[in-house]
């Protein structure tokens, strides 16, 4: 199975760099402090899970799809195990094989059933995403079983839409292959053996390597602000390091900086979280200066 590749990251935004002078981003290698996410043999695999064929999906990613994605009718999806479990969603590794033997790896993100839903932080994020029907709005507000299912569907659809837009803009995010209800099939970020790329929090690196990673992340934050968005829940735990480059994940809560009344607060929290991590690892950053820069970029687009 050939290595899946994303569109190359565009390094031409060096004029925005406030904290580091990096005229060109160096290629780097990093070490991993802890074992990266990988198949958990101790977790029971849900072999009953099925995914719609590409042609039958509720929604598909930006067109045309990347060449590595198997879209053939008759392709078979095989669940290879659990990559990650969380309060709101589980992520499985899926291998999709075409009738001619071509295959690709996908990350299947399934939002939990209503019995296990813990979307306790959704109120602020869902500002501006209200549904039109009053019955559905009431159900979501009162957390009925029906309302919880609606919330899960909103989060899945919001993540697919956000990833589609950001991937199309060239940001470093997984390609969203397809959406089926509360389940997403995403580009797998990792190696051909099914070992996921490590989180930024797991990486051990010297100052030059960390500076290069900050260069990546700063450019990604600028691109997000230019599009009018903040990640909404950014930290070193939902940033992956793949081949020495930053990839952003977990984007269901993406926030409209201007349209959401709490948008600037979410942006400031995002920036403070990542700046604190980098500062704690020897890269001194001013979160207030960077937040003001990004907020100014977002406001200029209005």
Please list the active-site residues.
Answer: 233, 250
C-alpha 229 chain-centroid distance: 13
How much is the CA Rg of the chain, to the nearest whole Å? 19
Q: Is 120 exposed, middle or buried (0-12, 13-18, 19+ CB in 10 A)?
A: exposed
CA–CA dist 252, 104 (Å, integer): 24
CA–CA dist 253, 258 (Å, integer): 15
CA–CA dist 90, 107 (Å, integer): 10
C-alpha 293 chain-centroid distance: 23
Q: What would the two tokens of residue 264 be?
A: 């600037």
Residues for the chain: how many in total?
302
Nearest residue to 253 (alpha-carbon basis) of 276, 235, 272: 235
Dihedrals phi, psi of 209, to nearest 5 degrees: -65, -40
């Amino acid at each position: 199975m050939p290595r899946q590749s994303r569109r190359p990251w565009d390094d031409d935004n060096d004029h925005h760099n406030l904290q580091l002078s990096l005229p060109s981003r160096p290629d780097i290698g990093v070490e991993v402090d802890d074992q990266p996410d990988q198949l958990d043999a101790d977790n029971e695999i849900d072999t009953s899970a099925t995914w719609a064929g590409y042609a039958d999906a509720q929604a598909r990613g930006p067109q045309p799809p990347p060449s590595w994605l198997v879209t053939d009718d008759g392709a078979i999806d095989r669940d290879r195990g659990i990559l990650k479990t969380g309060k709101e969603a589980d992520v499985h590794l899926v291998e999709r094989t075409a009738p001619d033997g071509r295959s690709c790896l996908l990350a299947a993100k399934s939002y939990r059933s209503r019995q296990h839903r813990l979307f306790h932080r959704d109120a602020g994020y869902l500002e501006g995403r209200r549904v039109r029907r009053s019955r559905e709005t009431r159900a979501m507000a009162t957390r009925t079983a029906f309302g919880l299912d609606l919330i899960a569907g909103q989060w899945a659809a919001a993540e697919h839409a956000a990833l589609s837009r950001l991937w199309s803009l060239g940001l470093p995010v997984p390609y969203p292959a397809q959406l089926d209800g509360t389940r997403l099939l995403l580009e797998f970020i990792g190696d051909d053996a099914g070992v996921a790329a490590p989180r930024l929090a797991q990486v051990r690196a010297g100052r030059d390597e960390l500076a290069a990673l900050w260069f990546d992340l700063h450019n990604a934050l600028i691109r997000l602000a230019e599009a009018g968005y903040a990640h909404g829940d950014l930290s070193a735990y939902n940033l992956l390091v793949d081949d020495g480059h930053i990839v952003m994940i977990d984007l269901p809560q993406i926030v409209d900086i201007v349209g959401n009344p709490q948008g600037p607060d979410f942006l400031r929290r995002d920036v403070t979280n990542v700046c604190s991590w980098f500062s704690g690892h020897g890269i001194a950053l001013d979160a207030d200066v960077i937040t003001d820069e990004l907020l100014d970029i977002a406001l200029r687009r209005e």
